[in-house]
């Protein structure tokens, strides 16, 4: 999945011949799953029509401070547009627009919006080879870089003037690749490996029956997707569940029993930076698994159970630098029980679910958790979707690494 997926992109098009390439650029953004709004300078409309870009971006194109076609002249709010964006790209960026950006000359909607933008701003220059090397243009590049804007360098090749050299706007595919590489390199969990357990485990009674529980696996899958979105390499060890990882950077290893989950976790744990145990592992399993289907005979029937291994506690016992997070599902004395689990399992953080909280627990879309850290700092959270709880948990992981 592209790092651009779900991103809100504001594309500023200024008036150069390369503007015709923005049709492909918008298509590639949409294909990558981004949301796109386009702002055009008046001059750019001579090179590509607003209708083309609004059709491809699936959004109205903005080009003036107010909508002239509208009798009541509705103001195009450049501040709202700028704040909407996760990322602004000016492509093609002509020498005229670049120079206005450096001096704050906001005589068009594009530059006014640029001046209001708080998001990262990229610019892809496009001009003739001598212009591209002119000291005044180089001064604009340097000024914009000093503002923290990121330049996507022009490419070499045939130019509209008939000359050949450096100055062509980077090809749309290369602009996309540049943005993806830059955004990926800045993801907060880039280079980190995370092991996550999810779902229930099934403990066989005989070839057709098992002991299991109602865990859907959603919390673990949401954690895995969010961790991958933040750049982590994720190994998700999942018991039986119908969930699929949305982010294809998540490696899912399917297991059935607690013992299988234990084995896989121990295979990977030594190489990971973080482990999060979100699985509802069966605490007991039948001592003997019948090789044939058990026939009904006596009126009463009992199965002797034995304890499964506590995966989380076993990881806590061997952990070195790994940041270890566990869950606790409690029905009474929640905080005290959770604190005991932190100590017993040698955890860095516990995510406490209380079944007393409405909206929390198995087969629910929402969860209400309380974080308790190693120093027993208690942080109750609001009732939220499991996706948002996953974001909160991973924020804890990000701030742990930020403190190191």
Return residues touching ligand CTP (CB under 6 A).
197, 258, 277, 279, 281, 283, 308, 310-312, 326-329, 341
Annotated ligand binding at 345? The verdict is yes
293 known ligand binder: yes
Q: Between the CA atoms of 329, 333, 338 and 344, what dihedral angle is there, to the nearest 10 degrees?
A: -110
CA distances from 150 to 27, 122, 127 (A): 22, 5, 17
Residue 205 CB, nearest distance to ligand CTP (Å)?
Answer: 18
State how far the Cα of 389 lies from the Cα of 403, in Å rounded to an integer. 21
327 marked as binding residue: yes
Closest CB to ligand CTP among residues 186, 344: 344
Verify cis geometry, omega within 30 degrees of 0, for the bond prior to 92: yes
User: CB 273 → ligand CTP: shortest distance, Å?
Assistant: 18
Residue 72: burial class (beta carbons within 10 Å; 0-12, 13-18, 19+): exposed
* Residue 391: other Cβ atoms inside 10 A: 16
Q: Considering the candidates 76, 105, 213, 346, report the single residue annotated as catalytic.
A: 213
350: phi then psi, degrees, rounded to nearest 5? -120, 140
Told to judge if 213 belongs to the known catalytic residues of this protein, a careful annotator would answer yes
Are residues 259 and 286 in contact, defined by beta-carbon separation less than 8 angstroms? Answer: no
Taking CA atoms, 295 is separated from 286, 289, 298, 333, 334, in Å, by: 16, 14, 9, 42, 41
Smaller CB separation from ligand CTP, 272 or 281: 281
Question: CB of 367: closest distance to ligand CTP in angstroms?
Answer: 14
- Give least dist CB 264 to ligand CTP, A: 12
Residue 254: CB minimum distance to ligand CTP, A = 17
Q: Is 326 helix (H, G, I), strand (E, B) or coil?
A: strand
Nearer to ligand CTP, 113 or 197 (CB): 197
Counting Cβ atoms within 10 Å, is residue 36 exposed (0-12), middle (13-18) or buried (19+)?
buried
Contact criterion met (CB below 8 Å) for 87 and 10: yes
Q: Which helix (H) or strand (E) holds 159?
A: none
CB-nearer residue toward ligand CTP: 171 or 283 = 283
The Cα 85–Cα 72 span in angstroms is 27
- Pick from 146, 87, 151, 153: which is nearest to 123 by CA? 151
CB 37 → ligand CTP: shortest distance, Å?
A: 43
β-strand partners of 351: 327, 371
Residue number with CB closer to ligand CTP (32 or 279): 279
Helix (H) or strand (E) holding 212, with range, is: none
- Tell the smallest beta-carbon distance from residue 145 to ligand CTP (Å): 47
Q: Which is nearer to ligand CTP, 19 or 265 (CB)?
A: 265
The string of DSSP codes covering 263-294 is HHHHHHHTT-SEEEE--B--SEEESS--SSPP
Nearer to ligand CTP, 293 or 307 (CB): 307
> Which residues does the annotation mark as catalytic?
213
Instruction: Please report, in range form, the residues annotated as the binding site.
Output: 283, 293, 327, 341, 345
Instruction: Please report, in range form, the residues annotated as the binding site for CTP.
Output: 283, 293, 327, 341, 345
């Amino acid at each position: 999945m592209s790092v651009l997926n779900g991103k809100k992109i504001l594309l500023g098009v200024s008036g150069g011949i390369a503007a015709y390439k923005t049709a492909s650029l918008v298509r590639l953004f949409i294909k990558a799953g981004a949301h796109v709004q386009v702002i055009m300078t008046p001059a750019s409309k001579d090179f590509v029509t607003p209708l083309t870009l609004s059709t491809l971006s699936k959004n109205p194109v903005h080009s003036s401070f107010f909508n002239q076609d509208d009798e009541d002249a509705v103001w195009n709010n450049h501040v709202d547009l700028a704040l909407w964006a996760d990322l602004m790209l000016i492509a093609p960026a002509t020498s005229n627009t670049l120079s206005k950006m450096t001096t704050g000359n906001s005589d068009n909607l594009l530059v006014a919006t640029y001046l209001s933008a708080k998001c990262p701003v990229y610019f892809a220059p496009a001009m003739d080879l001598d212009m591209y090397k002119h000291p005044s243009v180089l001064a604009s590049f340097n000024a914009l870089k000093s503002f923290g804007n990121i330049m996507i360098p022009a490419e070499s090749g045939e130019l509209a003037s008939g000359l050949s050299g450096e100055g062509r706007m980077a090809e749309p595919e290369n602009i996309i690749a540049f943005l993806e590489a830059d955004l990926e390199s800045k993801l907060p969990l880039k280079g980190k490996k995370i092991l996550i357990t999810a779902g229930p485990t099934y403990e066989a009674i005989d070839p057709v029956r098992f002991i299991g529980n109602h865990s859907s696996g959603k919390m673990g899958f949401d954690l895995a997707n969010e961790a991958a979105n933040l750049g982590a390499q994720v190994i998700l060890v999942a018991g039986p569940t119908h969930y699929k990882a949305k982010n294809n950077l998540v490696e899912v290893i399917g297991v059935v029993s607690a013992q299988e989950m234990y084995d896989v976790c121990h295979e990977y744990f030594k190489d990971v930076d973080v482990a999060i145990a979100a699985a509802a592992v069966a605490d007991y399993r039948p001592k003997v698994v019948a090789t044939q289907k058990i026939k009904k005979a006596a009126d009463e029937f009992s199965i002797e159970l034995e304890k499964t291994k506590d995966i989380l506690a076993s990881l806590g016992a061997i952990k070195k630098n790994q940041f270890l997070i566990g869950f606790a599902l409690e029905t009474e004395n929640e905080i005290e029980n959770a604190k005991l689990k932190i100590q017993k399992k040698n955890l860095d953080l516990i995510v406490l679910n209380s079944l007393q909280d409405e909206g929390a627990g198995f087969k629910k879309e929402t969860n209400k958790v309380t974080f308790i850290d190693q120093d027993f700092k208690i942080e109750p959270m609001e009732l939220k979707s499991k996706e948002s709880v996953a974001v909160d948990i991973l924020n804890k992981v990000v701030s742990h690494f930020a403190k190191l």
